[in-house]
C-alpha cells in the first residue's frame, strides 16, 4: 500500500510539474476590413459583439493599436515577419519579388515550429499562391482555408475549387466563417496535450457581403441592407471567437493560452473601396488610406494571470509587436539578428514599464505616408485615387486633441513638420522600392481580385 501511495504522489507531482512547465499556447485571431467603431468595447450599439467584448475584458485593450499597412496582404506580411513589410518590397497586395511573401523572410510559424510547437493556420492566407508559398511551406504543420484575398461565404463552385485542407481542395458545405470556427476548434482538440500556435485569419467582414438567413433575422431592425448584412457577418465571427474561448476553457487551457485579436486594416468607407457597411467613427479615413481610419484598428492582447484583465492601454502599439511579444511569452529566444521592427509589449502591458514602446511609428503606401511620434502625426493621404498635389502636403495633426484629423496644424508648427518629415525620410531612405502597383493604381481590377 505504501509503495502504491508513493507512486501516486510521485506521478501527481510529475504531472503538476509538467503542467507548470508547459509553454503557453498562442492564438492569433485576425478580422478583415472591420470598422473601428463596430465592436462593443468601442461603443458600438447596433451590432452586439459579446464574445469580443469578453475577450477585451479578459485582457488588455489597446486604444492606439495600429497596423503597418492600410489593406490586407501587407498587414499580414508585417504580422508574420515582425518587420515593416516595405523592408522586403511587400508594400502592396501584389507582395514582394515574384508576388507574395518573399521566401527569404522567416515567419512566426517557422519560429514556433522550431521551438517545438504544433503550428496551424485556418482562414485567409493572401501571401502568395505558388506551391513554395503555401502556408505549409512557411512553417505551418496544418492548413485549412483559401490562398487568395477574398472568397464567397456560401457553398458553390468557388468552395469546390479553392478551399484547401492542406494542399488538397475539399468540398465545404458550411457558411465559411462557421467552417473556420469549426476547424479552429478541431485544431485545439487535436493538440490540447501539447503547446500549439494557431493563426486564425477570418475573411469576415471582407466583401462579398454574404450572411446566413438566421443571423440576418437577428438584425432585421437595421434598415440599411449593407449594414444589416455586415452586422450578421460580424456576429458570425464573434460567435466563432466565443466558441474558441469556450473550447479552451473546456480543456482547461484558458489560463495557459495567450490570445491576440486585431483587424487587418480599418473599414472600407471610401467610394473607391469595396464598401461593406463598416463605420470608423471617431476616426477619419478608410481602408487604403494612411489616415487613422485606415490604420488604427480594434486591438486586444489577453493572457490570464499574466496580463491585467480589463486594462485599457493608450500608448501606440502596432501588429509588428505581436511576434516578439508572443515569442517572449513562450520563452522563444530572439535578438538583434532577427531584425524585428516590433518590440516585446509584455512589460508595457503588464505595467512594469511605464514609457512608450515606440518613439515613432512609420507608414508608406505608394504616394501616401505617415509618421506618429507621441501625440503628433504627420501624414500625406489619398482622398480618392491619387494625392491632390494642389493641396499643401504633408498635414500635421495632434491626435490627443483631434482624433478625427480635422485641424491641420502644419502652418502653426512648421518646426514639428520639419522634424517629423526628416525622421520619416531617414526611415524611408533604408527601404527598397515597392514591388508591383498599389490598389489605387490597379483600381477596379484590384477590387475584383480582393483586397
Cα torsion 173, 175, 179, 182: sign = negative
Strand partners, 200: 29, 122
Which grid cell sits at 394? 504633408
**Given 42, 51, 126, 191, which residue is catalytic?**
126
Let me know if 62 is a catalytic residue.
Answer: no
Cα torsion 214, 215, 221, 223: sign = negative
Cα torsion 365, 62, 360, 347: sign = negative
Length of the chain equals 451
**Given 72, 134, 206, 330, which residue is catalytic?**
72
Let me know if 413 is a catalytic residue.
Answer: no
Q: In what order do the strands lie in the sheet with 60-62?
A: 168-169, 164-165, 142-146, 118-124, 196-201, 25-31, 257-263, 299-302, 60-62, 311-313
Q: Per DSSP, which regions of 249-290 are E strands?
A: 257-263
- Whole-angstrom distance, CA of residue 437 vs CA of residue 435: 7
Query: How far is C-alpha 146 from the geometric centre of its chain's CA atoms?
Result: 17
CA atoms lying within 13 Å on the CB side of residue 208? 12
Cell 506521478 belongs to which residue? 11
CA distances, 9 to each of 3, 6, 18, 19 (Å): 10, 5, 14, 15
Using alpha carbons, select from 348, 259, 344, 346 the residue that is nearest to residue 304.
259
- Whole-angstrom distance, CA of residue 284 vs CA of residue 363: 17
3-state SS assignment for residue 155: coil
Using alpha carbons, select from 41, 40, 33, 45 the residue that is nearest to residue 221.
45
What is the pairing mode between strands 257-263 and 25-31?
parallel
Q: Which residues are catalytic?
A: 72, 126
Amino acid at each position: 500500500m505504501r509503495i502504491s501511495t508513493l507512486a501516486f504522489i510521485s506521478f501527481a507531482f510529475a504531472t503538476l510539474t509538467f503542467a507548470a512547465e508547459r509553454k503557453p499556447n498562442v492564438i492569433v485571431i485576425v478580422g478583415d476590413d472591420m470598422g473601428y467603431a463596430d465592436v462593443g468595447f468601442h461603443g458600438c450599439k447596433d451590432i452586439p459583439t459579446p464574445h469580443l467584448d469578453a475577450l477585451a475584458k479578459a485582457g488588455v485593450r489597446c486604444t492606439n493599436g495600429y497596423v503597418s499597412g492600410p489593406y490586407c496582404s501587407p498587414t499580414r506580411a508585417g504580422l508574420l515577419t515582425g518587420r515593416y513589410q516595405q523592408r522586403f518590397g511587400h508594400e502592396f497586395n501584389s507582395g514582394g519579388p515574384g508576388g507574395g511573401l518573399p521566401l527569404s523572410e522567416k515567419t512566426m510559424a517557422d519560429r514556433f515550429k522550431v521551438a517545438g510547437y504544433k503550428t496551424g493556420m485556418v482562414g485567409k492566407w493572401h501571401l502568395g499562391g505558388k506551391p513554395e508559398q503555401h502556408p505549409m511551406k512557411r512553417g505551418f504543420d496544418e492548413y485549412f482555408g483559401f490562398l487568395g484575398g477574398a472568397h464567397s461565404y456560401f457553398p458553390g463552385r468557388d468552395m469546390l475549387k479553392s478551399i484547401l485542407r492542406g494542399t488538397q481542395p475539399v468540398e465545404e458545405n458550411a457558411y465559411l466563417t462557421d467552417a473556420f470556427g469549426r476547424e479552429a476548434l478541431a485544431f485545439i482538440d487535436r493538440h490540447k496535450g501539447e503547446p500549439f500556435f494557431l493563426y486564425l485569419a477570418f475573411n469576415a467582414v471582407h466583401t462579398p457581403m454574404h450572411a446566413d438567413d438566421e443571423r440576418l433575422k437577428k438584425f432585421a431592425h437595421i434598415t440599411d441592407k449593407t449594414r444589416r448584412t455586415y452586422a450578421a457577418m460580424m456576429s458570425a465571427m464573434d460567435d466563432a471567437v466565443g466558441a474558441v474561448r469556450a473550447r479552451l476553457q473546456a480543456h482547461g487551457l484558458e489560463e495557459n493560452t495567450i490570445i491576440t485579436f486585431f483587424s487587418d486594416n480599418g473599414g472600407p468607407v471610401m467610394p473607391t473601396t469595396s464598401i461593406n457597411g463598416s463605420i470608423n467613427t471617431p476616426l477619419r479615413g478608410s481602408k487604403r488610406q494612411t489616415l487613422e481610419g485606415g490604420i488604427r484598428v480594434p486591438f486586444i492582447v489577453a493572457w490570464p494571470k499574466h496580463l491585467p484583465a480589463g486594462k485599457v492601454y493608450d500608448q501606440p502599439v502596432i501588429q509588428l509587436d505581436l511576434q516578439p511579444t508572443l515569442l517572449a511569452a513562450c520563452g522563444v529566444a530572439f535578438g538583434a539578428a532577427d531584425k524585428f521592427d516590433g518590440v516585446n509589449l509584455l512589460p508595457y502591458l503588464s505595467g512594469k514599464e511605464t514609457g512608450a514602446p515606440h518613439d515613432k511609428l512609420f507608414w508608406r503606401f505608394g504616394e501616401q505616408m505617415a509618421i506618429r511620434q507621441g501625440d503628433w502625426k504627420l501624414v500625406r493621404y489619398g482622398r480618392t485615387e491619387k494625392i491632390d498635389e494642389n493641396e499643401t502636403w504633408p498635414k500635421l495633426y495632434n491626435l490627443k486633441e483631434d482624433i478625427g484629423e480635422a485641424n491641420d496644424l502644419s502652418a502653426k508648427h512648421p518646426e514639428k513638420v520639419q522634424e517629423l518629415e526628416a525622421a520619416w525620410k531617414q526611415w524611408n531612405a533604408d527601404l527598397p522600392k515597392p514591388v508591383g502597383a498599389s490598389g489605387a493604381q490597379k483600381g477596379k481590377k484590384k477590387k475584383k481580385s480582393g483586397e
